[in-house]
């Protein structure tokens, strides 16, 4: 039986298994957003349920930014610089790297104890080498530095600890959490992100009660906020399940624009003069990007786009088709900034007899929607073919 803990006023769910109560409420067309909040980044994606198989349609491709829990560490470092001086902190990191790591580990354990309703101060142990090195560097004690600083919410404990008030600790979270909430608000404002029923908050940073409360306060009125048990392992579990059945996502958003580089007949006034190539009396435009699919375009699992090309010369013994990608939608030439080569199709045209027509057709196909793009070139006259696979999610 599924174990569910629910705050009915806040509509926040803490679940061990979303198969039970949550799954029974899902209907055809329901939408949900997944917020994967880790150490370095926070990534967000929106899916739509397709029943009865439970397959998914990706409505909004994964997006995010550097709003992970490391931002809280950065704010703590800024606080230390304010108290002890940036010059000292930089030197300490260089001269005592192991002690710096110990200090950040001590902060990490206290960071996990931060909560909206906490009233007790949080104590962070300073390594002895920090206290000793500071006295040698400045000529006075750590306690003296704290008294002289303008930071009233951090005190010195006689046990050799920094004593932070709960509000001081919570303030370290605020810049990072504000960025997450702002980015989530931007996602919710997208036209394709409407009528979202659930928001799943997952990842290591999702364990933070401060982040949980902020997400609930900002979006609890728009959808149900769900925080799985073992929230830090949720993405790992999902990755394993996805590896077992990648076809669970039936429709994806293309992360990039894909196409091939070709020669086109040169058109005065349309093509730039520097792209003109004259070969055997024929005027060609070089480096043309022939688009197969645009960035952010929805593609179904197995969807295939086909183009037909002709070798520039009938006597060609081989045809090389280079595949390119770009984050931009409107790409005209493969030489533009941000265009990258991600694959090559090399098709042998030798070994044919005289019956092969002079204007032979080379059919090029790209199959999308899976975790890998399958590209193929076929010589229609001889049925010779060549294939290549390209990582659809990362290339």
pLDDT reading at 372 higher than 60: yes
Report the C-alpha dihedral over residues 149, 150, 155, 156, rounded to 10 degrees: 10
- Mean pLDDT, to the nearest integer, of 185-201? 87
The pTM (predicted TM-score) of the whole model is 0.64
Position 93 scores a pLDDT of 94
Encoded tokens for 168? 């001081």
Which pair of structure tokens corresponds to residue 323?
Answer: 């595949």
Equal CATH topology for 4-65+172-253 and 257-391? no
For the 257-391 domain, the top CATH level (class) is: mainly beta
Q: Is the pLDDT of residue 234 over 60?
A: no
Q: Is the pLDDT of residue 395 over 50?
A: no
Average pLDDT over residues 200-212: 88
- Higher-pLDDT residue of 314, 117: 117
**CA separation (Å) from 43 to 215, 237, 384?**
14, 16, 43
pLDDT at position 55, please?
67
**Residue 75 CA to its chain's centroid (Å):** 23
Extended strands (E) in 18-92: 31-37, 42-50, 55-65
Q: How far is CA 292 from CA 297, 304, 331, 378, in A?
A: 11, 9, 11, 17
Query: If we measure between CA atoms, which residue out of 326, 299, 325 comes closest to residue 390?
Result: 325
Q: What is the mean pLDDT of residues 223-245?
A: 60
Strands lying side by side in the sheet with 31-37: 4-7, 12-15, 224-228, 196-202, 31-37, 42-50, 55-65, 249-253, 298-300
What percent of the chain stands above pLDDT 90? Answer: 38
Give Cα 79 distance to the centre of its chain: 29
- Once rounded to an integer, what is the mean pLDDT over residues 244-255? 64
Q: Look at phi and psi of residue 180 and say left if phi exceeds 0, alpha if psi is from -120 to 50, else beta.
A: alpha
How much helix, strand and coil, in percent to the nearest 5, is found in the chain?
A: 30, 35, 35
> Structure tokens of 271?
């093509």
Is residue 292 a contact partner of residue 305, using CB atoms and an 8 Å limit?
A: yes
Cα separation, 375 vs 387, whole angstroms: 6
Least confident piece of the model among 96-110, 151-165, 222-236, 284-298: 222-236
The token pair that represents 256 in the structure block: 């990039």
Q: Which two tokens stand for residue 338?
A: 């941000």
Distance CA 274, CA 261 (A): 16
pLDDT, residue 59, reads 79
Q: Which of 50-64, 201-215, 336-350 has the lowest mean pLDDT?
A: 50-64
Q: Tell me, what's the pLDDT at 7?
A: 40
Closest CA to 211 of 239, 184, 238: 184
pLDDT (0 to 100) of residue 247: 55
Measured CA distances, 185 to 176, 194, 210, 264, 310 (Å): 14, 12, 18, 44, 49
Backbone angles phi, psi at 13, to 5 degrees: -110, 135
| pLDDT of the residue at 15 | 42
Q: How far apart are CA 346 and CA 383, in angstroms?
A: 14
Check if the beta carbon of residue 33 is closer than 8 Å to that of residue 187.
yes
Domain 4-65+172-253, CATH homologous superfamily name and number:
ATPase, nucleotide binding domain (3.30.420.40)
Rounded to whole angstroms, the Cα distance separating 38 from 332 reads: 37
Residue 355's CB: how many other CB atoms inside 10 A? 6
Boundaries of every domain in the chain = 4-65+172-253, 70-166, 257-391
Q: Using the predicted structure, report yes or no on whether residue 243 has a pLDDT greater than 60.
A: no
pLDDT exceeds cutoff 70 at 1: no
| H or E segment and range at residue 83 | helix 70-84
Tokens of 225: 């906020």
């Amino acid at each position: 039986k599924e174990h569910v803990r629910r705050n009915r006023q806040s509509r926040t769910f803490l679940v061990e298994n979303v198969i039970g109560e949550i799954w029974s409420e899902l209907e055809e067309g329901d939408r949900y957003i997944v917020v994967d909040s880790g150490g370095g980044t926070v990534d967000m994606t929106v899916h739509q349920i397709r029943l009865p198989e439970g397959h998914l349609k990706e409505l909004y491709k994964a997006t995010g930014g550097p709003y992970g829990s490391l931002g809280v560490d950065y704010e703590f470092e800024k606080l230390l610089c304010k108290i002890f001086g940036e010059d000292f902190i930089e030197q300490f990191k260089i001269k005592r790297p192991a002690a710096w790591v110990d200090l950040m580990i001590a902060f990490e354990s206290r960071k996990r104890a931060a909560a909206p309703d906490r009233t007790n101060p949080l104590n962070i142990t300073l390594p002895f080498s920090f206290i000793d090195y500071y006295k040698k560097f400045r000529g006075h004690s750590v306690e003296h530095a704290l008294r002289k600083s303008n930071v009233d919410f951090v005190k010195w404990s006689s046990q050799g600890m920094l004593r932070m008030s709960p509000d001081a600790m919570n303030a370290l979270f605020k810049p990072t959490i504000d960025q997450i909430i702002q980015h989530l608000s931007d996602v919710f404002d997208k036209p394709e992100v409407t009528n979202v029923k659930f928001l799943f908050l997952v990842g290591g940073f999702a364990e933070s009660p401060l982040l949980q409360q902020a997400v609930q306060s900002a979006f609890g009125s728009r959808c149900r906020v769900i925080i799985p048990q073992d929230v830090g392992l949720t993405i790992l579990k999902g990755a394993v399940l996805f590896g077992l059945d990648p076809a669970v996502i039936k429709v994806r958003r293309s992360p990039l624009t894909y196409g091939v580089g070709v020669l086109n007949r040169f058109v005065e006034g349309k093509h730039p003069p520097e792209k003109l190539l004259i070969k055997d009396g024929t005027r060609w435009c070089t480096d043309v990007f022939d688009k197969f699919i645009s960035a952010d375009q929805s593609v179904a699992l197995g969807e295939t786009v086909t183009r037909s090309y002709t070798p520039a010369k009938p006597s060609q013994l081989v045809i090389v088709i280079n595949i390119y990608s770009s984050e931009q939608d409107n790409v005209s030439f493969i030489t533009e900034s941000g265009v990258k080569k991600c694959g090559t199709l090399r098709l042998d045209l030798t070994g044919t007899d005289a019956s092969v027509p002079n204007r032979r057709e080379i059919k090029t196909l790209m199959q999308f929607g899976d975790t890998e793009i399958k590209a193929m070139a076929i010589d229609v006259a001889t049925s010779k073919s060549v294939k290549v696979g390209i990582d659809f999610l990362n290339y």
